[in-house]
Structure 1
Amino acid sequence: MRVTDRQHVDALLAAIQGYRRDIFDRQEQIASGKRVNRPSDDPAAYQRIEQFRYVLKTANRRRTSVEEGQRRLTVSDGVLDSTSNLLQRGKELAIQQRSDTNTATERTNVAKEVHQLFQQVVSLANTEMNGRSLFAGFETETDAFALDAASASASSSNTGGATVSASVASASALQPHVYEIAFTSSTQFDITDLTTGQLVSSGNTYTSGSPFSFNGLSVTITNGSGPPQTGDRFYVRSEYSYQGDDNSIAVETGDRETVATNVPGSQVFSGPTANVLTVLQDFHQALVTNDEAGIETAIGQLDAALTQVTNARTEVGARIKRLDVVRASLDLLSLNTESLRSDFEDADFARVASELAALQTQLEASMATLTRHFQTSLLDFLR
């Protein structure tokens, strides 16, 4: 078959266009660092690259959540460790004060330390992380525990038949103290803050069923089987209540797999078996009222509270270890997936540079051949 000059020129032009396309492709690969910049470059490879990107995106999202969960659990572990130490100290004090050789003055002095332990535990229970409550479940915008409740009791040594009840009159005026209402006669009583040892008021007139208020509390003493007698004592205190919920803040660790990264306060401070705050308040009240039986009871209660916190800490530790394993797995998955993505997507600079140089040489040669062809054709025409 005879190849005409026209066919030869067309072939050269087609080759030159092809070289230019290939040169542009190699230049784009060098500029972007990628072998595949669009689906048309390599449809099969582009599909695999998209799959790798999805895996990487999912792994990175999970790793971010896991790291946040690890921080939350680590802080929780530290809080529970401190709480355990405080409860252990409380138990030691209870054992020291259980003896009938301890005086009321000694117990009152120890009560000051116990009150400090109590306040520290309250502070720990209301720990925040990044401005959010750690132990309030989903209710992270509020303190886990708030001083908004009251309780009242009558001394076991009372000879009268009166009963007592208490409620909150003004939560903002409450203090975490225990108060004694002591009847100096059947019709008058004094109020003393046993936590501070200060007299609140004296010579108050008693009327059965008529409420009276002090320091944010509203108290009502009522004749039951009989009126109060001289020397009868009633105790009133403000208490903390849980403000959160029981929800767990879970992080995704795999397909349909999650790990809880918080401990609701209801599962460690106010339950499930012991109310840690109430236990400490009971112990404090037993000390300031010189209640030997109450101190003995506090030993068992503190032991139960300590076991509860220890169990919660054990669970937290197990979750931390699990998230450590998950994070290591995610790191390995990301590393391997990134390597695969790079194999499919990233350009081999040395190879691409070599191909670019070869294409430029071929383009220059084709251009030179085309130029010579036109020069020969022009000479033939002039002849």
Structure 2
Amino acid sequence: MKFVLFYLPTVGTKKQIESRMLPGQNTQAYQSMLYQITEQVKAADQLGYYACAFTEHHFHIEGFETSNNPILLSLYLGMQTKNIKLAQLANVLPFHNPIRLAEDIAMLDQMTKGRAIAGIARGYQKRWADILGQVYGVGATYSDKSETDAKNRALFNEHYQIMKKAWTSETFTYKGDFWNIPPENLQFPMEAVRAFGKGLGDDNQISEIGIAPRCYQKPHVPVWQPFSFSEETFRFCAREHIVPFMLNTDDTSISNLLRAYQEEASKVGRELALGESVGVFRDVLVAKTDEEGKRLAAGGNGWVWENWFHPLGFGEALRRDGEKGQIGGDFNTLYDRGFEYVGTPDSVNFMIEKLVKNHNPEYLLMWQYPGLVPHEDMMRHIEMFASQVMPNWVD
């Protein structure tokens, strides 16, 4: 199993957020966050964690998940580490220029000599998605088969195909519903392009383009996609060699998605064991006692979940097969339904053992909450997990 630290990250303490001081805009609070994640990721690098990852969300002046550019955060940490891989979970494709994004990720991969992982997602938070998506006439999606959802998915798919072409082709063209690369009759009478490059026709029109640099890894960087609930998404990921990450806690739901991925992968010549090339997402925190672990986690993910993620609809991740009605958003619900892998090393080992026995995912994505969980407790957790949990599950 490969272990990945996932940072949103939170800027400010619980008290600062509750006092409405808008810690996301506070320089000292932001600098404190950078210091804490730097020390934690540097420790994780030395202790053998597989990767660290950051999200993309905008306008989070409240302090929740203040991470508007995961590529910059990846580069910032990449320049201070040696081995740990650097992922974005994720870049929200419908609201990016796909060529610029492909270039940025290729640069990250070159600058870290092959440690970049590209994360892609569709975008669900309307506050920022509907604002930044105006240029493409698309907004946030709730995977509800609506017209907005369909357009979001179409743009996501087109942007992904453009990025793949940019990464894998010396020069390329693309014609789709949204993009025409290059546009017709693009005049660029530059003899230097004809003499030293490619893509300039005898009529002085640009016929193809290529990005520079291309990825350090070949044919391109690995691609991950969070956080998937639908069989359609898992089948797409299987066809495209993408690693999907699931939030689900119900064993039946997990098994159904794993089987769908394995089945679809086989159709394109990928013979995988059940759980291979798939990740599971959990809140993970190791402490000296179970009581301490629960207390710290309740003030970290437990508090953020109840105030932020549950109102956004993430309770669906906790729904049991066939269950109807509302799902609670408090920490006890999260713990009872298996989202919280918290407590002593023995307790967390037992939880992972059950996950491996039932589903055997290749990746465990571990939610981290600096700021809300004190830095010294985070550092102790990272070390204890690496020394007393990780050795039992790393291949």
- What TM-score does the superposition give when structure 1 sets the normalisation length? 0.21
Name the one with the larger strand percent: 1
Name the one with the larger helix percent: 1
- Larger Rg, first or second structure (1 or 2): 1
